[in-house]
C-alpha cells in the first residue's frame, strides 16, 4: 500500500524560507496527483492553501507557493511569519476517487 510521506516536523526562523515536501513510498509525485496543501492550527478546521500543485487559494499570501521538486510535491514558505506556525498537510489524488493525506508536518517558527 502506497503511503503519502511528509516530514513530521520542521523549524524555520522568522523571515526565513522553508520547503515542506510530499512524497510517495512508491513512485514519484507528479501534477497528475493534483497535489494540494492545507494549513491547520489547533482546534480549527483546515484552511486550503494550494491546489493543483501550485494554484494559491483566494486570500492566501504569495509567500506560500507550491511546486514539484524532483519526485515530490513541495510547499515553500518564503519570509515565514510567526502566524505560519501550524500543521501542514498535503493530499494526493490516487485515482478511482481516492484521496490520501500525508501525515502532516508540524512547522515551528522560532
Partner 1 sequence: QVQLVESGGGVVQPGTSLRLSCAGSGFTFSSYVMHWVRQAPGRGLEWLTVISEDGSLKYYTDSVKGRFTISRDNSKNTLYLQMSSLRAEDTAVYYCATDPVVPTGVRYFDHWGQGTLLTVSS
Binding site for partner 1 (CB under 8 A): 34, 36, 38, 40, 45-48, 51-52, 55, 57, 87, 89, 91, 93, 96-104
Smallest distance from partner 1 to CB 102, Å: 8
Q: Which residues of 72-97 are buried (b: 16+ CB within 10 A; e: fewer)?
A: bbbbbbeebeeebbbbbbbbbeeeee
Judged by CB, which is closer to partner 1: 19, or 54? 54
CA atoms 18, 31, 44, 60: torsion sign: positive
Smallest distance from partner 1 to CB 15, Å: 28
What number of other Cβ atoms are within 10 A of residue 22's Cβ?
29
Judged by CB, which is closer to partner 1: 45, or 110? 45
Judged by CB, which is closer to partner 1: 66, or 72? 66
Helix (H, G, I), strand (E, B) or coil at 5: strand
Amino acid at each position: 500500500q502506497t503511503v503519502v510521506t511528509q516530514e513530521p516536523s520542521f523549524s524555520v526562523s522568522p523571515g526565513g524560507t522553508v520547503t515542506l515536501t510530499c512524497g510517495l513510498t512508491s513512485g514519484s509525485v507528479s501534477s497528475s496527483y493534483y497535489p494540494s496543501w492545507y494549513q491547520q492550527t489547533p482546534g480549527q478546521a483546515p484552511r486550503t492553501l494550494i491546489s493543483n500543485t501550485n494554484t494559491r487559494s483566494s486570500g492566501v499570501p504569495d509567500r506560500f507557493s507550491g511546486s514539484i521538486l524532483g519526485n515530490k510535491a513541495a510547499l515553500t514558505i518564503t519570509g515565514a511569519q510567526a502566524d505560519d506556525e501550524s500543521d501542514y498537510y498535503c493530499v494526493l489524488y490516487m485515482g478511482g476517487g481516492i484521496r490520501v493525506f500525508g501525515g502532516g508536518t508540524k512547522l515551528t517558527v522560532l
